Amino acid sequence: MTILDYTQDELKEFIKPAFRVKQIYKWIYQNYADTYEQMHTIPKTLREELEKNYSLMPLSVAKEEQSSDGSIKYLFALHDGKTIESVLLPMKQEEFDEDGKRIHHTRYTICISSQVGCKIGCSFCLTAKSGLLRNLSTGEIVAQVLLIKKLNGIDSERRVNIVYMGMGEPLDNLNNVSKAVKIFSDIDGLSISPKRQTISTSGLSSQIKKLGNMNLGVLLAISLHAVDDELREELMPINKHYDIRSIMNAVREFPIDVRKRVMFEYLIMKDVNDDIKSAKKLVKLLHGIKSKVNLIYFNPHEGSPYNRPPKSSVEKFRDYLNAHGVTCTIRQSKGLDISAACGQLKERSEK
Ligand code: SF4
């Protein structure tokens, strides 16, 4: 059991008086306490009681790889010996003016896992090979961000973005993920607003509706990757159950902040989905949806039947979309040299 599993309201049920909970939250999420003993404003008896029953950190670092672009990929070990991965991505480097005064801090995005393994079975993904081993608990999801901030000395006031885009399908573990969203956004804790949290899904339409009904205020990203059902079924067998039309219908109903857009991830592969015909279909498909398309170069791994497309075809694809009213960017290959495509670090370390 970890104390990171609990919202403040839940802790108040068994920690009295209630104001202690706020203090404990601040010790954990803002002062990054490593032990209960360090929480010197909390009475000793309560500290001992908590120590006996709740761990402060359910993860430990099993492996860490730094990429030349500054991203760091972590393999974290869980209490049962299973492992998950998370990535810290610096999005914008800090900048200084002529007098050496800092104008911008480095901005970070933290990519986290929601399950050990995954049952969705995407053909381009190494995580899919292991199948689903188990869901992560809320605390194990929360711990990934807390530990990465702590390990990298990112102080508590610094805002980070979270993407649920590591191992697993977050909407297949909706209860624990939605609770993690709430814990992340607690202002006495990590204080990461839901607007800075993006849930990325393979397109489980019924779960997208459920998430929408929860009105959490999170952003949505859809791993689309193909514009017709035939190809999408080949890439993502889940498309047999949730086809493109059902996904688009669920997205159209999803409550999203007026200033925000739904992100569509498009893993672009040579001679598979990188042609202008696909770009045209994509424009048609997204008609009427406030969307942004993110093109991701396919990152080839051993034994993969797909290849990385040439820069020229990816740029043509992007330009076509932008010229036809769909905002489109090419995602920089952060972490390319440490194989940051889903599941690859884990696979390599197990070999
Ligand atoms: S790409 Fe994501 S949803 Fe698909 S199998 Fe891999 S982890 Fe699961």
Q: What pLDDT is attached to residue 341?
A: 44
Q: What pLDDT score was predicted for residue 220?
A: 96
Give the integer Cα–Cα distance in Å for 19 and 188: 12
Tell me the per-residue pLDDT of 32-78, one tens digit each, with 9 for 90 and over: 999 999 999 999 999 999 999 999 999 999 999 988 888 899 999 99
> What is the structure's pLDDT at 298?
84
The residue count for the chain: 351
Angle at alpha carbon of residue 294, lines to 290 and 149, rounded to 5°: 105
Side-chain-side CA neighbours of residue 300 (13 Å): 11
pLDDT computed for residue 157 by the predictor: 84
Per-residue model confidence (pLDDT) at position 339: 42
Residue owning the nearest CA to atom 4 of ligand 1: 122
Task: Please report, for residues 64, 158, 212, 246, the alpha-carbon distance to residue 257 in angstroms, rounded to integers and kept in the order given.
Answer: 36, 23, 12, 22
Query: Residues 6 or more apart from 16 whose CB is under 8 A from it?
Result: none
E strands present in 124-187: 132-135, 160-164
b (16+ CB within 10 A) / e for 198-209: bbbbbbbbebbe
pLDDT under 70 in the chain at which residues?
A: 92-98, 102-104, 332-351
Q: What's the DSSP call for residue 339?
A: T
* Token pair 């010229």 in the structure block, residue: 323
Closest of 225, 229, 214 to residue 170, by C-alpha = 214
| Ligand 1 centroid, distance to 127 Cα (angstroms) | 6
Of the candidates 111, 302, 342, 350, the residue annotated as catalytic is 342
Q: Is 342 a catalytic residue?
A: yes
Distance of CA 320 from the midpoint of ligand 1 (Å): 28
Our answer to whether residue 85 is catalytic in this structure is: yes
Q: How far is the CA of 332 from the centre of ligand 1 (A)?
A: 20
Kind plus residue range of the DSSP H or E element containing 231: helix 229-235
As for ligand 1, residues whose beta carbon falls within 6 Å of it are 118, 120-122, 125, 127-128, 167-169, 202, 342
